[in-house]
Structure 1
């Protein structure tokens, strides 16, 4: 199930759009964070310059004692402080500077043309940035509160990006579904067409290429249906027209005096009639009739009794009495063709076996002949395929197994040809639901 989903066009389109949206959101978030850092660094830089300029103007002309008294009065909690150079002796700093601190130190070093030391630490419950500066040619530490300069991503920006990505994902999924929906309908219709059922016309909606695909598929399906209908009419009409003169020939021969060749001629006419009947069955096998509840064991018993009356060594092994939805006439043709093949090409005894399995019913016809070689079994299911040299007699019409294969396909069954205990087994499994 997952492999079908991951390999679908819908998943790939949705994944493509989601990938593009997520990549765009990540790039936009990175750009926004980069610009935010640049803006904060510029504000911090201006604050440092304004503070230093203000302090130099204020302390210009003061002696050291007056400067210290002024700074004692100037330095207040929560505001920039100018501390003596030895004030860092009792302070513990973090091993690394935050990004804004590094950017500020680099800019000050570049503008002042001298290396600037900077540290990041905590005092009480406040985060602080310590910058080594010179005021009136004397070394100080300019301590800047760092509470409003957040070094992490803004929560609102991250939330906005996530909401936008989620909305884009939903929109991409809807967009991919709208595009792939018509294609999925074409795929489903092609499965029905391959199964022998004429699908309903596919709605010609969606993008231009998809509309063109649906239009061409509908046209192809209609032409195939017309061709199949004409072929059925031709086969049925030709077969019907042939049966009348064959019946007259047989009746004329039977009314004439016995001759040495009369028996062989009657056998040839019966063979021609059987081939004509198979042509009719083959044409009818393409028709999809209504499925109705059917007792498979009763139908098999009726067909087996008919062949036993004709002198065939065949018996029914009824291991269960299953009921399934099926076309009774189609299943009767199916079993009749299998028994006819077993009589012509196999060896007695012939066994018809019915058994119930979980979720399915198995119908088997077993004969004790040479069977069909494994390399020819697939081709044996094709129409007009004759395997006389492998079955020991003439090839007939080559339609027996083709009729069986079509009926099995119409009932969503599974046909297998196997060797079992020196016997050849044709097994058909029908779903019970």
Structure 2
């Protein structure tokens, strides 16, 4: 309770709608309900009480009239019954030789009807209000006069009609507002979908700015940002293609010159250095190139995993994988294949066996690669994703490349809106790499 009093707005916030549409509708509905409540209260306080008094006075006046006439001419009771039933909507009964032995019940004292009867009837009286009827009894000279009238005569229909009218018009107003609000929010939803697709490396060719001026500005800013990013990516790819060509040309000349030289221990060492430089250059360019300009396409993930396993660098290492039914995903197939191959190659490089499994969930597909190697210390999980980082601290190609495999793999995962999560394999003792891709 103390926590609620200290943070009342936080407690209320938990029950508020989360969407812009819901909050906008609440902003319209809250003052409308407040105005309705105030109007109903004012109407009830000023109008309902006056109407009830007037209706009670009418009933009391009719009862007083019949009672006074009976007191004046007591012998003609049938005449009064006829007048009361025909003209005054009162059913009248005469009970001879009786006296009133009880007063008005406490629950009905000082009500509008009691006050009206008290002011107009001078004979002793009592009354009770049943579910459908009001029964009023007055004492006359030689008995009792009992009057029965419908209870609805004491109730005004105007109050209920007022409530129905206000509620109906408010509901109609909210429905019309909801339609207009939905149309205003729709462009924002489309923008959110386009931004999410762009974050996952997918295109939204039919997206265009629409809606209000502010939403159009936001949409146009998103399109401008998207165009700048794509232009920068294109420029980077084209530049790297030129750099690749410029660097490969001298390496090719060096290979040719070494091939024409007599074979010796020196030339053999130089050839290994040139080959290592070529592989390092290819690794650098692959990392810098990233996903390139590849378009997304619907891809069979099982087939992609099998291709990555088949193309691994260490065919002598057994890779266990049992395909299961998986959804078709819109991905950049070649980039994702390269990501899987990097993870499988990394596992095969340090382990004797590799296990690949998939775990489809409602919101994402998880592909898990495990090995039985030495694993990675938990405090190094974040560092191994850094470009050129290696646990052995070397740059020897024979011991595992230049340290770009996991960096490239995670960049590709990020370009699909996913991620790679490292942990220790409980089943096999090595490293467990989980590639998570949202649908």
In structure 2, what is the Cα distance between the partners aligned to 1:125 and 1:334? 81
Shift of 1:65: 7.8
In structure 1, what is the Cα distance between the partners aligned to 2:314 and 2:191? 45
Please report the RMSD computed on the Cα atoms of aligned residues, expressed in angstroms: 4.9
- Identify the residue that residue 395 of structure 2 maps to in structure 1: 394
Shift of 1:93: 4.1
Match of 1:315 among 294, 300, 318: 318
In structure 1, what is the Cα distance between the partners aligned to 2:48 and 2:251? 98
In structure 1, what is the Cα distance between the partners aligned to 2:115 and 2:167? 34
Match of 1:224 among 222, 229, 233: 229
Does structure 2 conserve the Cα–Cα contact (< 8 Å) formed by 1:367 and 1:423? yes
- Identify the residue that residue 23 of structure 2 maps to in structure 1: 12
Range that drifts further, 211-220 or 194-203: 194-203
1:385 aligns with 2:387: yes
In structure 1, what is the Cα distance between the partners aligned to 2:205 and 2:98? 88
In structure 2, what is the Cα distance between the partners aligned to 1:130 and 1:44? 15
Range that drifts further, 419-428 or 148-157: 148-157
TM-score normalised to structure 1 length:
0.69
Match of 1:77 among 50, 69, 84: 84
What 5-or-longer segments of structure 2 have no aligned partner?
1-13, 140-144
- Identify the residue that residue 190 of structure 1 maps to in structure 2: 195
Match of 2:420 among 404, 415, 422: 415
1:249 aligns with 2:257: no
Equivalent position SS for 1:295: helix
- Identify the residue that residue 374 of structure 1 maps to in structure 2: 378
Equivalent position SS for 2:84: coil
Does structure 2 conserve the Cα–Cα contact (< 8 Å) formed by 1:366 and 1:424? yes
How many residues end up aligned between the 2 structures? 399
In structure 2, what is the Cα distance between the partners aligned to 1:48 and 1:278? 103
Range that drifts further, 205-214 or 141-150: 141-150
In structure 1, what is the Cα distance between the partners aligned to 2:437 and 2:193? 22
Inter-CA distance 407–303: structure 2 relative to 1 (3 Å threshold): same
Does structure 1 conserve the Cα–Cα contact (< 8 Å) formed by 2:137 and 2:147? yes
Inter-CA distance 203–30: structure 2 relative to 1 (3 Å threshold): farther
Match of 2:154 among 142, 150, 154: 150
Equivalent position SS for 1:416: strand
Does structure 2 conserve the Cα–Cα contact (< 8 Å) formed by 1:301 and 1:316? yes
1:97 aligns with 2:108: yes
Inter-CA distance 156–366: structure 2 relative to 1 (3 Å threshold): same
In structure 2, what is the Cα distance between the partners aligned to 1:5 and 1:200? 35
Match of 1:38 among 42, 45, 50: 50
Equivalent position SS for 1:385: coil
Shift of 1:89: 1.5
- Identify the residue that residue 215 of structure 2 maps to in structure 1: 210
Inter-CA distance 250–339: structure 2 relative to 1 (3 Å threshold): farther
- Identify the residue that residue 27 of structure 1 maps to in structure 2: 38
Shift of 1:297: 6.1
Shift of 1:200: 3.9
In structure 2, what is the Cα distance between the partners aligned to 1:144 and 1:322? 79
